[in-house]
Chain A
Amino acid sequence: MLVLSRKLNQAIMIGDDVRVVIVAVDRDTVKLGIEAPRTIPVHRVEVYEEIQRTNRAAAGEPAKPTERAKVADLGRGRRPPAPNPKGG
């Protein structure tokens, strides 16, 4: 792991288009400002880990043979709203 020391308002670049700024430091809490293209997802790691755990829990039921399954027709059902091209 690369470890860098930064002071308040200093920043690091990740690649050419991701910029991370130290916005505030208060005891054991650091506030980061992240400027990244909207095409790059940015999330707290705890959220990602919770999704990982939940997916494993969903699959975690002991597999037992049931009736034969068929490939689902995914084209039916209600449509979600179109993504907003401006993001968010």
Chain B
Amino acid sequence: MIEMIEDTEAETTLDLPRFGTCTFRDSEVLTFPWGLPGFAGLRRFLALHLDGQENFVWLQSLDDITVALPTTDPYSLFPDYNPQLPLYASSSLDIQRPEEFILLGVVVVGPGAEAMTMNLLAPVVINLRTRVARQITLETGGYAVRTAIPRKAAPTPAGA
């Protein structure tokens, strides 16, 4: 059987401590040119999800494979979330159109997974066109770094 190879982009396979074997292409790598607070030296990440856990996106560092942060779509858990991105977000990320970027909220799973919080003050903003991302601190809205996720709404990320 002959496989048609239309895409010649090289694939990389890594053995990740949390997720096992993972194969990705260069074009799927997210770049954080300003680092991620707390992990300033880490620039390259993959957005991974587990089968059956598509709501959770893990930001898996490629520079330190022991580092992975669970995130999720803030709107699905907080329907009233209405962040006003500061101008430095759109200028530094070269965001030209609303449809070319998404937000992810960093989730902290407490001991025993009973207390989950989301960082609504500083969402991770990803430009899908350039694959460049930055964690942006909002200047308005009064959002908190650790906002409790309503229990009913909270799925637990496997592996956390």
A interface with B by C-beta (< 8 Å): 38-41, 43, 47-48, 50-59, 61, 63-72, 74-75, 77-88
7 other A-B residue contacts (CB within 8 Å) besides A69-B49, A83-B87? A53-B38, A74-B102, A74-B128, A75-B102, A75-B128, A85-B90, A88-B139
CB pair B50–A54 under 8 Å, yes or no, is no
B contact face: mostly helix, strand, loop, or mixed: mixed
Minimum CB–CB distance for A56 against chain B, Å? 4
Residue in A69, A71, A83 with the greatest tally of chain B CB atoms within 10 Å? A69
Residues of A within 8 A of B160 (CB): 61
**Which one of A38, A66, A81 contacts B86 once the chains associate, using CB atoms below 8 Å?**
A38
What residue of chain B has the Cβ atom nearest to residue A79's Cβ? B98
**How many residues in B have their beta carbons less than 8 Å from beta carbons of A?**
70
A contact face: mostly helix, strand, loop, or mixed: loop
Minimum CB–CB distance for B11 against chain A, Å? 11
CB pair B39–A65 under 8 Å, yes or no, is no
**Which one of A39, A66, A79, A84 contacts B91 once the chains associate, using CB atoms below 8 Å?**
A39
Known interface pairs A59-B67, A59-B68, A78-B73; A72-B137 also in contact (CB < 8 Å): no
CB pair B75–A54 under 8 Å, yes or no, is no
What residue of chain A has the Cβ atom nearest to residue B81's Cβ? A80
Residues of B within 8 A of A61 (CB): 109, 159-160
